[in-house]
Structure 1
Amino acid sequence: MRDFWKPLLAIIVCCFGIAGMLSGRPIERPPGVLAPDEPIQTPTDAAPFSIGEFRIAPQARFDISARVLSVEPYRVDGGAKLSPIDFAVGWGPMSDSAVLSHFRIKQGSRFFTIYPDESAIDLGTALLGAANMHLIPASQRVRKQLESVRAGNVVQLTGYLVNVSRADGYTWNTSLTRKDTGAGACELFYVEEVAVR
């Protein structure tokens, strides 16, 4: 009887492994712009608030509809307790599969990089339509929604761009423009609502 269970267990483990790999695969999309509009950023007078030991200071109301280019979870870096996931996102031409086929996209260490091939659109234009966003879920429901997202999904995210501080002097600030690049250019985004397609 023991010999019967070993192969069955091996098959079950393999099925779970295959299902896990498939669930994380990018979603294929036909050519065409999926998210034509730029993010909407408006002033706010929302009061600061706390999440655990972190003080969250809203800097602007933020609403974005974008194609997810890459997803990167974080568990052990200094901000992972607050922001467990980053999305690299694109809008305008950077939401079009025909354009994206000429770029290789990498995320890691809270940065994202795009590598164009010789047929890619101008890199400056590409960077104006793409961003790396450190996401702070406003609730467990929002966190589960964010963690279910795959590259290729189109997401609608609403909340606040925020600056973060802690009593020990730790700070983490958001970018407030889509025109910057390099260190400090990422949006630190407190996400209140998520829609995924």
Structure 2
Amino acid sequence: MKKRIVLVLLVAAAWFFFIRDTPARWKGIPAPRQPVQSSAGLPAAFRNGEYTIKPLAKYQITAVVLRGERYRFAPLSDLCPLDLALGWGPMSTAYAINGLKITQHGRFYFYSWKNEAPLEPEQIAQNSANTHCLPADAKIRSQLLAVKRHELVTLEGYLVEASTPDGGTWRSSLTRDDTEGGACEILWVTSVSRKKL
């Protein structure tokens, strides 16, 4: 009997800490601005280990972390150990976030709702993105891996195309209104700042 009670308590604790989504509780729009992108003054392509990194645009984003997914053994995980699903504008509001089920899998970000979407589907798509985060150095990597769900983050760097030794390429989206495969931002991150909401 005691063993059964202990097992039930362990399952309940696991559900509380790892499965249950804590609701967003802030007011207002913490990330009101669209990401800023520019193609002026880009550096030349450079090597990072076995990869060639070609900057396509300067990029700065301030957004709420909707969810994060760590990759340790997946392809390209040495280059990109973390994806962050980010929301700005109406997708940074507690109302929108609490009205959606948000998941990540296989380098994609997914959202769904039960009865009625908290925003028009076009607004959700145009104000959120799955961002593949490529840290520029070990310090940035540590900062990125410390980012938590529902924090307000500002990331700066370059949207890039990464080329692999076998000739493959992984190219960032350069617009915010695309969806499906190829719609993710691939960000070479040179600066990270975080704020609790």
TM normalised by structure 2 equals 0.85
CA distance in 2, matches of 1:59, 1:108: 26
Q: Which amino acid aligns with 1:71?
A: G
Matches within 5 A, 1:106-125: 106-119=103-116, 120-125=118-123
Q: Which residue of 1 aligns with 2:90?
A: 93
Residue in 1 aligned with 2:36?
40
Identity %: 37
Q: Which residue of 2 aligns with 1:49?
A: 46
The reply on whether 1:31 has 2:27 as its aligned counterpart is yes
Structure 1, unaligned runs of 5 or more: 1-13
CA distance in 2, matches of 1:167, 1:63: 29
The runs of 4+ residues in structure 1 deviating greater than 2 Å are 25-29, 116-119
Q: What stretches of structure 2 of length at least 5 have no aligned partner?
A: 1-9
TM-score, scaled relative to structure 1: 0.85
The equivalent residue for 1:161 is 159
If you compute each CA radius of gyration, which structure gives the higher value, 1 or 2? 1
Aligned length: 178
Retained in 1: the 8 A contact 2:23–2:98?
Answer: no
**Alignment partner for residue 69 of structure 1, among 46, 66, 69?**
66
**Could you say what secondary structure the match of 2:172 adopts?**
coil
Task: State the Cα RMSD in Å.
Answer: 1.9
Is the 1:32–1:98 Cα contact (8 Å) retained in structure 2?
no
**How big is the shift at 1:28?**
4.1
